[in-house]
Amino acid sequence: MPGRWCGVCLTVWIDAFSAPLTRLGLLSLLAIFVLGLSILAVPGLLSDDEPNSGDTVGLSGDAEVSTTAASEPESISADEDQPDGVLLATARVSADGIVLDGLVTTEGQRDALVDSARRRVGPALVEDNLEVATGLTSSVGRDNGVVALQSFLAGVPDGVTIAATSADGRFEVVGEAVDDATSTQLQELLATVAAASPGVDTVNDVIVPPPPPPTQEELAAAAQFDLDQLNALLLEEVLFATGKNEPTEEFKALLDQLPELMDRHPAVRIEVAGHTDDRGSEGGNQELSEQRAAAAVAYLVEIGAPAERLSSRGAGESEPIDTNTTRDGRARNRRVELTAF
């Protein structure tokens, strides 16, 4: 900066003393002086080095002050870290015991629910997973909901697999009852619970599921019950003439009952087994029993029994049901047996 001023002064001084002191010379001197001032002033006016609002401005020494205002922390509602306002305590009841889950308002409520469950099924069959909800204020709806669950646990019947849930002003039971009688007991219990818990809506979503379909063994056993009555009658009649495989009329009259019986038990098949006494050769008896069983099946098909559900087997003399040393015993051994499967 001093160098610029010296250059201008020197120029002015030289021009002032070397040029004649005329009006023109004075004007030239004035123009040069103004031009020099402009050269010095313009760069400062054009500078944009002013501090920004976010920059620090130096005071004395090294001290600096930020021009940005300090940010305020976000305000958090006292309710934000609390549960959402719905009390949710659940008891899962089954043949294995009672499992308690969810939230309660106080330790006293927790103790009351655990005690009620233990009195019902015994301490060993109660699993306590309840938690006390910190910051959750008490209310009539919540407190009565816990009372409803406590009353329910005290009287819950056997034969149920259910989940009982106590929410704010609502008590709901969902699951299955083993039969209609148990379902009725449950409904009566809920009516008692509702009366003892004013302001709480009780909901019963417990159903009695339909029984599972019978197994094939169960179906065969039911059919066999009917067949055994027919087998008993077959023992009382002469089914074949001696040495013959043609059914007698008495035998045919009994076989006539079989198509209707098969209609009542459509899922089973029937085996017709022929048996003999021990008179004659073993091989001959085996062949005769096979022929007699096949003859009985042929007659059944002839009168309308479904052939695909019938089979025949010859047992010969190998499966006696009485002695072969007496006439009556041998008569019982000569038989046809019907078996469901």
What pLDDT, in 10s, does the model give residues 238-248?
Answer: 888 777 888 99
Instruction: Indicate whether 128 belongs to any domain.
Output: yes
Q: How far apart, in whole angstroms, are the C-alpha atoms of residue 278 and residue 156?
A: 65
Specify the number of domains making up the chain. 3
pLDDT at position 24 over 60 = no
Query: For the chain, what's the residue count?
Result: 341
Q: How far apart, in whole angstroms, are the C-alpha atoms of residue 102 and residue 272?
A: 63
Instruction: Indicate whether 322 belongs to any domain.
Output: yes
Give the alpha-carbon dihedral of 249, 253, 254, 258, to 10 degrees: 130
- Residues 187, 147, single domain; the answer is yes
Of 150, 177, 207, the last residue of a domain is 207
Q: What is the CA radius of gyration of the chain?
A: 54
Instruction: Indicate whether 61 belongs to any domain.
Output: no
Of 146, 178, 207, the last residue of a domain is 207
Full-model pTM: 0.53
- Residues 201, 222, single domain; the answer is no
Mean pLDDT of all residues in the chain?
80
Pairing of strands 170-177, 64-66: unpaired
- Residues 221, 336, single domain; the answer is yes
Residue 133's pLDDT band, with cuts at 50, 70 and 90, is confident
- Residues 113, 190, single domain; the answer is yes
Residue 49's pLDDT band, with cuts at 50, 70 and 90, is very low
Residue 227's pLDDT band, with cuts at 50, 70 and 90, is very high
pLDDT at position 100 over 50 = yes
- Residues 262, 288, single domain; the answer is yes
CATH code: domain of residue 131: 3.40.1520.20
CATH code: domain of residue 309: 3.30.1330.60
- Residues 298, 231, single domain; the answer is yes
Per-residue pLDDT averaged across 150-162, rounded? 96
Closest-CA residue to 264 (of 229, 299, 298, 314): 229
Closest-CA residue to 275 (of 312, 250, 300, 223): 312
Instruction: Indicate whether 308 belongs to any domain.
Output: yes
Provide the β-strand partners of residue 340: 270
- Residues 240, 138, single domain; the answer is no
DSSP string, 246-301: SBPHHHHHHHTTHHHHHHH-TT--EEEEEE--SSS-HHHHHHHHHHHHHHHHHHHH
- Residues 233, 322, single domain; the answer is yes
Instruction: Indicate whether 50 belongs to any domain.
Output: no
- Residues 122, 176, single domain; the answer is yes
pLDDT at position 185 over 60 = yes
List the domain range (segments joined by +) for residue 333. Answer: 216-340
- Residues 201, 126, single domain; the answer is yes
- Residues 243, 320, single domain; the answer is yes
Distances (CA, A) of 16 to 2, 19, 21, 25, 27: 21, 6, 8, 7, 11
Instruction: Indicate whether 292 belongs to any domain.
Output: yes
Q: Do residues 141 and 85 lie in contact, with contact meaning Cβ atoms separated by under 8 Å?
A: no
Instruction: Indicate whether 60 belongs to any domain.
Output: no
- Residues 146, 241, single domain; the answer is no
Instruction: Indicate whether 328 belongs to any domain.
Output: yes
